[in-house]
Amino acid sequence: MSSEETLRAEIVAASHALHANGWVANHDGNLTARLEAGRFLATPTAVSKAQVAPETLIVVDEEGTVVEGTRKGFSEMKLHLVAYKARPDVACVIHAHPPTATGFAVAGIELGEPFMAEPIVSIGPQVPLVPFGMPGDKALEANLGAALADADVALLANHGVLAVGSDFETCLLRLELVEHVCKIALVARQLGGPTALPPGLVHDLTKKHRGLFPRAHSGKPGALSAGAETPAEQLVADALKRLG
């Protein structure tokens, strides 16, 4: 794990990126990082993500109680704590309201069957839609925990998006990808709806995704396995090689 000082710089940079990308407004959005000994670094409530600075950050314990810093914690802290509990491999959590993905979430519309190859490799075959609940709602917490057991990014109905990862860059990339896929899905729906990929290909790409992001270990992306087994895996391995 990075040092606390590094994490403080990273959480500030990621906060500013949320604002710069237009994924939050007003005081929306919140970010946390796992520290040692059941402590979590967090952005405070009631601060624009553009204004987050190292001295505004707080540290909370496993109950969400502020143990360091002068600011107050945000009301959605329990959702972050649920994510860390459900996923011991996760080091960072970001919650935001990227407009198109949040549009799907507030419309209660799931992305459905996968229709592009790359997102399956990067974030898995499904982006779950967690049913609506207010902060503190036990059903919401249980549903989110269950959704994150098999996904790194989830839509929260009538609310927004939550992404987990081994670092902030990974969380931001997952948010970016889900927002991008939702934009594509929106256009495709206007043109008659996306065509789902063949199930066999989805299966192969899902296998590749699990190879790249083994959750049982450190949560860090694993190396691409040497011998690609199927044509789809070969395709992805080649594409990843070209991307460097």
**Residue 155-184 contact track with Zn ion, rule CB under 5 A, x = bound:** -----x------------------------
The nearest distance, CB 71 to Zn ion, in angstroms, is: 18
State the angle between helix axes of 168-190 and 99-107 in degrees (0 to 180), rounded to the nearest 10.
60
Rounded to whole angstroms, the Cα distance separating 33 from 57 reads 11
Q: How far is the CB of 205 from Zn ion (least distance, A)?
A: 30
Nearer to Zn ion, 98 or 114 (CB): 98
Q: Are 193 and 182 a contacting pair, CB within 8 Å?
A: no
Nearer to Zn ion, 30 or 126 (CB): 30
Smallest separation, CB 137 to Zn ion (Å)? 13
> Closest separation between CB of residue 76 and Zn ion, Å?
6
CA distance 226 to 128: 31
Rounded to an integer, what distance in angstroms lies between the CA atom of residue 156 and that of residue 101? 10
Q: Is 137 left (phi over 0), alpha (psi -120 to 50) or beta?
A: beta
Q: How many residues in the shown chain lie near Zn ion by CB under 5 A? A: 1
Q: Which run of H or of E encompasses 113?
A: none
Report which residue's Cβ sits closest to Zn ion: 160
Nearer residue to Zn ion within complex by CB, 98 or 165? 98
Question: Nearer to Zn ion by C-beta: 133 or 160?
Answer: 160
Kindly list the residues in this chain that would bind Zn ion in the complex (CB under 5 A): 160
